Chains A and B, each alone.
Chain A
Amino acid sequence: DTEVTQTPKHLVMGMTNKKSLKCEQHMGHRAMYWYKQKAKKPPELMFVYSYEKLSINESVPSRFSPECPNSSLLNLHLHALQPEDSALYLCASSLGVSSNQPQHFGDGTRLSIL
């Protein structure tokens, strides 16, 4: 079992739907990350939060909207997605954004856009 919990595990949505991905950790980590991983490709960084504030946005389209309501929770709100957005979305956390501590990953949400 991973210490970073992502829900749902699978999500199928139409291009006009609005949905949210959720990520939770209770390790006291103050940095949280969203990555996107296409099949047989490495993860690509999307967003970084540090102490609940957005620290990095890797020029992600506005149809992806992150939110960090508290230090344990990270959401990714989805709206008007495209078929090419189908991927595994991974959440990770670490002690801090500039610490020499490893990142802990959840098992991801597999997203399919119809």
Chain B
Amino acid sequence: KQEVTQIPAALSVPEGENLVLNCSFTDSAIYNLQWFRQDPGKGLTSLLLIQSSQREQTSGRLNASLDKSSGRSTLYIAASQPGDSATYLCAPGRGSGTYKYIFGTGTRLKVLA
């Protein structure tokens, strides 16, 4: 059974810092991995999707890496802003025919102005 852990569970930083959020998963037989953000009381917004054949994916100030063999992914946020405050969730996807995404425990990020 896939287990997904995210470290740290919570993080509070001053504006402008570069951040690294970690995601580890026990079953490395995945097809892709998504990173999401969730604002309080809202749904999830997909930030990046990395296919299993890729090692990195970038979007603006966000960069996600994937090391499938070691069961790890990291989300790098450059020059953090107060608007980045949210919960960040990783979700590796696998399945036969239908992908299932198992969500990590999340990292609650607060960026202070």
Contact = CB atoms under 8 A, between A and B. Distances in A.
A45 B51 contact: no
Contacts of B78: none
Interface in B71-113: 89, 95, 97-106
A42 B98 contact: no
Contacts of A110: 41
Interface in A94-111: 97-108, 110
B58 interface: no
Contacts, number: 64
Interface in B22-56: 31-32, 34, 36, 41-46, 49, 51
Nearest to B100: A45
Interface residues of A, number: 28
Given A50-B98, A55-B98, A56-B100, A102 B51 contact: no
Nearest to B49: A102
Contacts of B102: 45
Interface of B: 4, 31-32, 34, 36, 41-46, 49, 51, 89, 95, 97-106
